[in-house]
Amino acid sequence: MAFSFIDSKSYLYTSESVTEGHPDKLCDQVSDSILDAILKEDPSARVACETATTTNLVVIIGEITTTAKINYEKIARKTLKSIGYNNANTGIDWQTCEIIVKIHEQSPNINAAVSTALEHRDANSLMNDVEVDAIGAGDQGMMVGFACNETPELMPMTMSLSHQLTQKLTEVRKNNIIPYLGPDGKSQVTIEYEYGKPKRVHTIIISTQHNENTTDNTISSDILKYVIKPVIPEILFDSSTRILINPSGKFVIGGPHGDAGLTGRKILVDTYGGVARHGGGAFSGKDPTKVDRSAAYAARYVAKNIVSAQLADRCEVQVSYAIGVSSPISVSVETFGTGHIADDEIVKLINKHFDLRPGAIIRDLNLRQPIYQNTASYGHFGRLDIELPWEKTDKSEILKQEAF
């Protein structure tokens, strides 16, 4: 049995977010920008695109099978420009940096397993929906989805506030409200909980890239005024709340020049800030036949509908797959002592109302569309600024009716 948060009188929990200019997030955005460009022309493409970056260099590698005609270098430069990497002083220059592209087609062994699932290869199987049944999982593994009632978007409050802070950092930079900021930055929020409910903000940390000539006092004053106070509800502050702004001192050297970046290296930022477990697979650069991505989205969809239906206050859903097999190997639920019906009853409702075969997930959530670049920074879940199909709660009413 997992630790029950509702039994603990007081505990602290922390989540972090990073801006779109963080080197790892830069790489996620390049990979997903390439994926979107391919899906616009070829919705059935197989894409596994990885990006790495360091000083004055972007490297794009992977396995891509598509009929689309893509200029990978042009997409990468456009992505760097949109983030704000427009001169070497910011960490990389979109116009002059070197870009290396090494792409080959998907392994024919993997392609065969995905295109013709085990169930479809079984001559004795009865196919109800050939198009859905024929798609096998693109890999083995377990994927996790989570939802809780701490925020209107049914996300952990630590994660939600962390993302809002980094989004605000980017907003005030791009709108020249704080013109001396650079693209790279991080936030971290620690909240004190009491019997499973958020009580107060314990600590806020903001680290933001800035130009050489700006004083620490100016940065602290501006970040407090234009970033922290507009985001964090006043009711969560008290006299003991700590605010740390650029605690390391100067943060002039940032972006790929300050630290190398790599696709898929911020998986807890992408998901639930460590509040829920993680299956291990990253999302960005992968087409929806990769269950690392599509099944994680489906698991969030399931968990969010369960919490929206008030079957539990917190819900973690795990789904597991075998490569080349359509049907999930297992589906499990953990409600951390907050369930209003038994967990095994929730699993029965999931199996009845959600089709978690990869082909069905792609069909039901309409995942063969170019919607992924916007997910590559500020999280894949609980987004209020963009509409994502796995965030809908269209099954909550039927779940509630059948449960109660």
User: What is the Cα–Cα distance from 215 to 162, expressed in whole angstroms?
Assistant: 24
User: What is the Cα–Cα distance from 137 to 20, expressed in whole angstroms?
Assistant: 30
The active-site residue out of 260, 348, 364, 392 is 260
Assess whether 251 carries a catalytic annotation.
yes
Assess whether 385 carries a catalytic annotation.
no
Assess whether 292 carries a catalytic annotation.
yes
Assess whether 25 carries a catalytic annotation.
yes
The active-site residue out of 286, 314, 357, 380 is 286
The active-site residue out of 25, 202, 210, 257 is 25
* Backbone dihedral angles phi then psi of residue 224, each to the nearest 5 degrees: -65, -45
The active-site residue out of 251, 283, 336, 354 is 251
Residue type, 151: T
Assess whether 81 carries a catalytic annotation.
no
| Cα–Cα distances in angstroms (integers) from residue 63 to residues 35, 69, 106, in the given order | 12, 15, 5
Assess whether 184 carries a catalytic annotation.
no
Assess whether 290 carries a catalytic annotation.
yes
Assess whether 186 carries a catalytic annotation.
yes
Assess whether 225 carries a catalytic annotation.
no
Assess whether 93 carries a catalytic annotation.
no
The active-site residue out of 73, 153, 171, 259 is 259
Assess whether 78 carries a catalytic annotation.
no
Helices 343-353 and 396-403: angle between axes, nearest 10 degrees? 130
The active-site residue out of 20, 287, 292, 313 is 292
Instruction: Write out the two tokens for 337.
Output: 């002592």
The active-site residue out of 257, 265, 293, 314 is 265
| Cα–Cα distances in angstroms (integers) from residue 260 to residues 54, 75, 77, 186, 247, in the given order | 5, 20, 17, 15, 21
The active-site residue out of 210, 257, 266, 304 is 266
Assess whether 250 carries a catalytic annotation.
no
> Parallel, antiparallel, or unpaired: how do β-strands 242-245 and 261-262 relate?
unpaired
Nearest 10 degrees: CA dihedral of 65, 70, 76, 77? 170
The active-site residue out of 5, 20, 22, 76 is 22
User: What is the Cα–Cα distance from 90 to 211, expressed in whole angstroms?
Assistant: 9
Cβ(186)–Cβ(18) below 8 Å: yes
The active-site residue out of 24, 32, 270, 287 is 24
User: What is the Cα–Cα distance from 22 to 379, expressed in whole angstroms?
Assistant: 13
Q: SS3 for 198?
A: strand
The active-site residue out of 77, 173, 186, 380 is 186
Cβ(46)–Cβ(111) below 8 Å: yes
The active-site residue out of 290, 304, 380, 395 is 290
The active-site residue out of 32, 36, 42, 50 is 50
- Give catalytic residue positions: 22, 24-25, 50, 63, 186, 251, 259-260, 265-266, 286, 290, 292
